[in-house]
Chain A
Amino acid sequence: MLVIRRDLVEAMVAHARRDHPDEACGVIAGPAATGRPERFVPMLNAARSPTFYEFESGDLLRLYREMDANDEVPVVVYHSHTATEAYPSRTDVSYAGEPEAHYVLVSTRDPEEHELRSYRIVDGEVTEEPVQVVESYMFSHTGADDVPDAG
C-alpha cells in the first residue's frame, strides 16, 4: 500500500495537468529509513512527448547524487498518461528499474477527472496496490501497526 500526503498527490496531478498533452514525470524522495514520500521533485521530460517520458541523463545523475547525500530513496516514481488509462504500458514495465519504488501513474485523458493509481513493478511483474491519501503522516499507521496485537 502507498500511504501519501494529500499535498503530494495534488502536486503530481498539477504537474500532469500542466504538461498535458505531453507526459509529465518526477520522483517523490523520502528517507531510506521510513520509506515515506516526502520531497517532491518534478523532472523535465527530456522526450517532451505525449507518448514517452525520460529523465534527462544529467538530471538523473544529479538527482541520485542528491538523494544519496540526503540518505533518501526514490519512494515514488510518477508519470502521466495523457490519452490512456493509468496502467503501466509494456514500455513502462521494461524500463522499471526501481524494485522498491511505488510507480504512480496519473491519467489526464479526462479534462475534469484525473485517475491516479499505484503499482509495484518487479522483474517485469506489475502488482497494483491501494493508495491511502492522508493529511499528515503523524496520525497514519502503516506496516506492522495495522495488525492488532494477538491475544
Chain B
Amino acid sequence: MAVTVSIPTILRTHTAGEKSVQASGATLAEVIDNLEANHGGLKSRLVKDGVLHRFVNVYVNDEDVRFSGGLEAKVADGDNVTILPAVAGGSR
C-alpha cells in the first residue's frame, strides 16, 4: 500500500526539506510508523498518547481523519495523505 504524504513546512526538517514523501501502510497508524522508520522524529510531532495531536490536521484524500477513524482510518494504495498544522489560537 504505497501512499504519498504531503509534509507541511514546519515538519520538513524531518524529511530533508522534501514537500512530499512516499510511505506505506493499510491504516494511518501504519503509515505514520512507516514514516517514522524513514524520517525519525515525525511520529512524536503527529501522535501524542496514542491519538493524533490536536495541533495537526491529517487528511486521507479530502477527508479529515478525525471524522473517519483517526489513526485507524483506512488508507488505500495510491491515496494522498496530507498533514497540515491546525491554524488556531485564542486570547486565553
Contacts and interface: CB of A to CB of B under 8 A. Distances in A.
Interface of A: 23, 25, 27, 43, 47, 49-55, 57-58, 60-61, 64, 73, 77, 79, 81-84, 88-89, 91-92, 94-100
B91 A54 contact: no
A131 to B, nearest CB: 19
Nearest to A58: B64
Q: Give the interface size bracket for B toward A.
A: 20 to 34
Q: Which 10 A-B pairs have the closest CB atoms?
A: A97-B85, A52-B90, A92-B89, A54-B88, A55-B87, A57-B64, A81-B91, A84-B91, A51-B92, A95-B88
A113 B52 CA distance: 41
Contacts of B86: 54-55, 57, 60, 95, 97
A27 B87 CA distance: 10
**Interface residues of A: mostly helix, strand, loop or mixed?**
mixed
A23 B89 CA distance: 10
Nearest to A86: B91
Contacts of B82: 61, 64
A99 B91 contact: no
A64 B59 CA distance: 12
Contacts of B9: 73, 98-100
B8 interface: yes
B49 interface: no
